[in-house]
């Protein structure tokens, strides 16, 4: 890559790096805070997978929708959900994104087009078909992106949605984040085809597999798919091969992983390291630029956690509110 | 005032709401019927002909779906969170098993899980009940599976006037609504005004006044209860028949007021008895109206079995007017 024909502007590169770094630091901090016992519930971390969410979401705007997985923090941050609100939500506080009623596994912000992490795997895919259908009726140029892991890629709701999107020619993108494990079960055991591109073809959808730790590869492939969908070219499937730095959930002892596997991945396949190398080689960003972002992000994370820990708990009456619009 | 069937009343509600609000869309299997087929377009208008004539007027606002309930019910729910007002058809209520997640884990919970920052104005209309020898997987009365779930509303009309008014209300309502139609009463006729009107949820209707016993029921069983009331009136027993109309919200005030006057309650439900709407009403009256009761609550329901196929067996499965009348007499003799 040379500076002259680099695919992104300096501002865009800084935005991409800031997003990836924010996700990483958010997750690393959640890992620590969870271990100290202050965070309630279940959390599933996106650390190691930042390039996928960021490379895709760089192409999305306010009219576009996404539906996420259990592992939703990265998708939220990349879609523009407020980080401080997210911390407060994870702590179950009244100031949280969902006023403390959703938590990590159900965090959502419809105002930002984020239709929710989901406690039910694959369940976001039908919802994304609906968002894409609404955009088609409203003619607002919106696209909708469904994220599933390699595990949920076997779920009927996801497979039915591939067909529905193809039949209705919806502006929808189905992203399979293949991190090689469904909880502890390996992808190769549970999926009989070698490539998700073959599955997509079986439903009449174009599909592409990219290295999900390469921000630029994801960004380019997603950009083509999203642009095609926006122009009425229909749905596509994007498989991102990626890696998980932590267990399925926090507290997972990961005894099913090979000895040294995570250390090797962190050393050799860290998407943030790779991004830094790519922009340095191309001479488009200086280390000082990245350092400056790092400091901003660190401050944001510190503030976010401190504010969340001080934020009020929801009042007792909140148990009974928000069930219906009217009843 | 024009006489209409329930089928026509729902069709008219769709015409009027689609004309009024461009965000109303309809989807389901074969609701146009014939899409992509060599025969006539709009060959069916839905398995029960509910949608006849709508496609010609509203075109692509009607969508035939693949046989794919989880995907299209979920798509209706997703579109509802994005500003549309979809009505999705679950052809038989029994098919709930393949798409319940989208209803009870997604639509029902969005508003709560998202801290009040979601509206999901979706209607899922579905057909329930026995009587056509459609057997165990096409004949159930699964209404209580929905009423159990916080976050969704459940509607069950018994007559054409209510069918139209409740459908218009369901479409305009900002919460997810399950609209249940009994398959045996589509051709029941009644007065239906031409103009648009809606019926608020949570308001039961007293279909017959009486001072001796209250019969609380809904949907097709309202007709059986009225037949029983006719039989009993010949013997001087006057029943008050309360048509619940909506099961969630449930108008317990009207039931309790009626029981306060009659002192006797019989609940009737085509569902099996355990954890049914009948059991729920009986429990609520036992809790809040116990001192008004002069005898134990009578309960007439289907047995705790699947729905049988043979017409002879099915006849014994579905609560009859005779069984209701017998239960009323038992209650009064107790």
Q: Does B178 touch chain A (CB under 8 A)?
A: no
CB-based burial label for B59 (10 Å; 0-12, 13-18, 19+): exposed
Confidence of residue B35 (pLDDT cuts 50, 70, 90): confident
Nearest-CA neighbor of A145 among A230, A249, A242? A230
**Nearest-5° angle of CA A256, CA A260, CA A265?**
95
Model confidence over A47-84: pLDDT tens digits?
999 999 999 999 999 899 999 999 999 999 999 999 99
pLDDT at B53 over 60: yes
Q: Give the per-residue pLDDT at B256.
A: 98
Closest partner residue to A115 among B78, B83, B109, by Cβ? Answer: B78
Give the Å distances, CA to CA, from B306 to A222, B94, B99, B181, B314: 50, 12, 20, 19, 10
**Which DSSP helix (H) or strand (E) runs through B268?**
strand B265-269
Q: How far apart are the first and last CA of chain B?
A: 44
Provide, as residue numbers in chain A, all residues whose Cβ is less than 8 Å from the Cβ of B117. 98, 108-111
Confidence of residue A6 (pLDDT cuts 50, 70, 90): confident
Phi-psi region of A260 (alpha: psi -120 to 50; beta: other; left: phi over 0): left
Closest partner residue to B71 among A102, A106, A161, by Cβ? Answer: A161
What distance in Å separates the CA atoms of residue B270 and residue B279, rounded to the nearest whole number? 12
Give the Å distances, CA to CA, from A83 to A12, A114, A134, B141: 20, 13, 28, 46
Q: Where are the alpha helices (DSSP H) in chain B?
A: 6-20, 54-58, 69-81, 100, 110-113, 143-147, 160-172, 220-233, 252-262, 277-288, 311-317, 321-333
What distance in Å separates the CA atoms of residue B209 and residue B202, rounded to the nearest whole number? 19
Mean pLDDT on A302-311: 98
Confidence of residue B309 (pLDDT cuts 50, 70, 90): very high
Model confidence over A134-182: pLDDT tens digits?
999 999 999 999 999 999 999 999 999 999 999 999 999 999 999 989 9
Q: Where are the domains of chain A?
A: 10-258+287-305
Which residues 6+ apart lie within 8 Å of B73 measured at CB?
A126, B88, B90, B99, B102, B103, B124
Mean pLDDT on A19-37: 95
How many residue contacts between A and B have a Cβ separation below 8 Å? 154
pLDDT at A2 over 50: no
Please, are residues A29 and A92 in contact by the beta-carbon 8 Å criterion? Answer: no
What distance in Å separates the CA atoms of residue A197 and residue A203, rounded to the nearest whole number? 10
What distance in Å separates the CA atoms of residue B1 and residue B19, rounded to the nearest whole number? 22
| B70/A120 Cβ within 8 A | no
Length of chain B: 334
Residues paired with residue A243 on neighbouring β-strands, in sequence order: none
Closest partner residue to A126 among B74, B114, B174, by Cβ? Answer: B74
Q: What is the DSSP letter of B318?
A: S
| A106/B113 Cβ within 8 A | yes
Question: Would you state the structure tokens that stand for residue A187, as one six-digit string?
Answer: 């992808």
Mean pLDDT on B141-145: 98
Provide, as residue numbers in chain A, all residues whose Cβ is less than 8 Å from the Cβ of B76. 130
**Phi, psi angles (nearest 5°) of residue B327:** -65, -40
Residue in this structure with the two tokens 């069937």, named with its chain if needed:
B5
Nearest-CA neighbor of B119 among B85, B150, B81, B78? B81
Q: Does B174 touch chain A (CB under 8 A)?
A: yes
Confidence of residue A1 (pLDDT cuts 50, 70, 90): very low
What distance in Å separates the CA atoms of residue A67 and residue A148, rounded to the nearest whole number? 9
| A101/B75 Cβ within 8 A | no
Which residues 6+ apart lie within 8 Å of A25 measured at CB?
A297, A298, A301
Could you tell me which CATH class the domain A10-258+287-305 is placed in? alpha beta
Mean pLDDT on A263-279: 96
Q: Give the per-residue pLDDT at B282.
A: 98
| B74/A123 Cβ within 8 A | yes
Which DSSP string corresponds to A72-112?
A: -HHHHHHHT--HHHHHHHHTT-TTSTTTTSS-GGG--BGGG
Verify whether residue B15 is a known catalytic residue.
no
Question: Would you state the structure tokens that stand for residue A274, as one six-digit string?
Answer: 């790779």
Q: Give the per-residue pLDDT at A3.
A: 56
C-alpha atoms less than 13 angstroms from C-alpha of B100 in its C-beta half-sphere: 11
Residue ranges of A 119-148 with Cβ closer than 8 A to chain B: 119-120, 123, 125-131, 133-135, 137-138, 144
Question: Would you state the structure tokens that stand for residue B124, as one six-digit string?
Answer: 């899922």
Confidence of residue A5 (pLDDT cuts 50, 70, 90): low
pLDDT at B92 over 60: yes
Q: Does A102 touch chain B (CB under 8 A)?
A: yes
> Min CA distance, A35 vs chain B (Å)?
25
> Min CA distance, B319 vs chain A (Å)?
31
b/e burial code for range A146-163 (CB count within 10 A of at least 16 → b): bbbbbbbbbbebbbbbbb
Mean pLDDT on A108-121: 97
Nearest-CA neighbor of A134 among B77, B262, B254? B77
Mean pLDDT on B252-259: 98
Mean pLDDT on A206-229: 98
pLDDT at A102 over 70: yes
Give all domains of chain B, ordered by start, each with its CATH number: 2-192 (3.40.50.970), 205-333 (3.40.50.920)
Model confidence over B165-189: pLDDT tens digits?
999 999 999 999 999 999 999 999 9
Beta carbons within 10 angstroms of residue A61's beta carbon:
11
Q: What radius of gyration do chain B's Cα atoms show? A: 20
What distance in Å separates the CA atoms of residue A291 and residue B271, rounded to the nearest whole number? 66
Question: Would you state the structure tokens that stand for residue B70, as one six-digit string?
Answer: 């989880």
Q: Is the bond preceding A37 in cis, omega lying within 30 degrees of 0?
A: no
């Amino acid at each position: 890559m040379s500076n002259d024909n680099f695919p992104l502007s300096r501002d865009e590169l800084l935005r991409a790096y800031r997003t990836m770094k924010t996700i990483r630091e958010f997750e690393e901090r959640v890992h620590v805070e969870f271990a100290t016992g202050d965070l309630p519930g279940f959390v599933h971390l996106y650390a190691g997978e930042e390039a996928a969410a960021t490379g895709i979401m760089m192409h999305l705007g306010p009219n576009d929708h996404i539906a996420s997985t259990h592992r939703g923090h990265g998708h939220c941050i990349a879609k523009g959900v407020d980080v401080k609100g997210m911390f407060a939500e994870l702590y179950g506080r009244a100031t949280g994104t969902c006023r403390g009623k959703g938590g990590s596994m159900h965090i959502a912000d419809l105002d930002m087009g984020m239709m929710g992490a989901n406690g039910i795997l694959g369940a976001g895919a039908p919802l994304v078909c609906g968002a894409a259908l609404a955009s088609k009726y409203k003619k607002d140029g919106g696209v909708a992106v469904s994220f599933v892991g390699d595990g949920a890629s076997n779920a009927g709701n996801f497979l039915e949605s591939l067909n529905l999107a193809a039949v209705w020619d919806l502006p929808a993108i189905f992203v399979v984040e293949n991190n090689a494990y469904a909880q502890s079960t390996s992808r190769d055991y549970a999926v009989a085809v070698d490539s998700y591109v073959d599955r997509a073809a079986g439903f009449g959808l174009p599909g592409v597999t990219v290295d999900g730790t390469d921000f630029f590869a994801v960004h380019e492939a997603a950009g083509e798919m999203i642009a095609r969908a926006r122009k009425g070219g229909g749905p596509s499937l994007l498989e991102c091969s990626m890696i998980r730095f932590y267990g399925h959930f926090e507290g997972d002892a990961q005894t099913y992983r090979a000895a040294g596997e995570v250390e090797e991945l962190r050393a050799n396949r860290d998407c943030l390291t790779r991004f830094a190398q790519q922009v340095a080689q191309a001479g488009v960003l200086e280390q000082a630029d990245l350092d400056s972002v790092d400091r901003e992000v660190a401050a944001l994370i510190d503030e976010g956690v401190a504010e969340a820990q001080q934020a009020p708990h929801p009042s007792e009456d909140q148990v009974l509110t928000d069930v219906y619009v009217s009843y | 005032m024009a006489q209409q069937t329930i089928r026509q009343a729902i069709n008219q509600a769709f015409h009027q709401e689609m004309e009024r609000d461009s965000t109303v869309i309809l989807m389901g299997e074969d609701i146009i019927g014939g899409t992509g087929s060599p025969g006539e377009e709009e060959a069916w208008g839905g398995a029960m002909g509910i949608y006849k004539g709508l496609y010609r007027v509203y075109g692509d606002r009607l969508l035939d779906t693949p046989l794919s309930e989880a995907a299209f019910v979920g798509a209706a729910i997703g579109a509802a969170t994005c500003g549309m007002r979809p009505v999705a058809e679950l052809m038989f209520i029994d098919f709930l098993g393949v798409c319940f997640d989208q209803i009870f884990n997604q639509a029902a919970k969005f508003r709560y899980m998202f801290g009040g920052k979601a509206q999901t104005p979706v209607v899922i209309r579905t057909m329930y009940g026995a009587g056509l020898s459609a057997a165990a997987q096409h004949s159930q009365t699964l209404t209580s599976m929905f009423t159990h779930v916080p976050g969704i509303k459940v509607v069950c009309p018994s007559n054409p006037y209510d069918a139209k008014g409740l459908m218009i209300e369901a479409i305009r309502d900002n919460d997810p609504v399950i609209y249940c139609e009994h398959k045996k009463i589509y051709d029941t006729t009644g007065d239906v005004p031409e103009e648009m009107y809606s019926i608020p949820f949570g308001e039961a209707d007293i279909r017959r006044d009486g001072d001796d016993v209250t019969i609380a029921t809904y949907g097709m069983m309202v007709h059986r209860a009225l037949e029983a009331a006719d039989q009993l009136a010949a013997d001087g027993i006057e029943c008050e028949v309360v048509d619940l109309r909506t099961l969630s919200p449930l108008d317990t005030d009207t039931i309790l007021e009626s029981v306060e006057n009659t002192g006797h309650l019989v609940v009737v439900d085509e569902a099996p008895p355990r954890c049914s709407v009948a059991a729920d009403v009986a429990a609520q009256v036992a809790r809040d109206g116990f001192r008004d009761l002069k005898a134990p609550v009578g309960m007439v329901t289907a047995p705790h079995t699947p729905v049988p196929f043979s017409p002879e067996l099915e006849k014994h499965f579905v609560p009859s007017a005779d069984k209701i009348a017998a239960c009323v007499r038992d209650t009064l003799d107790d």
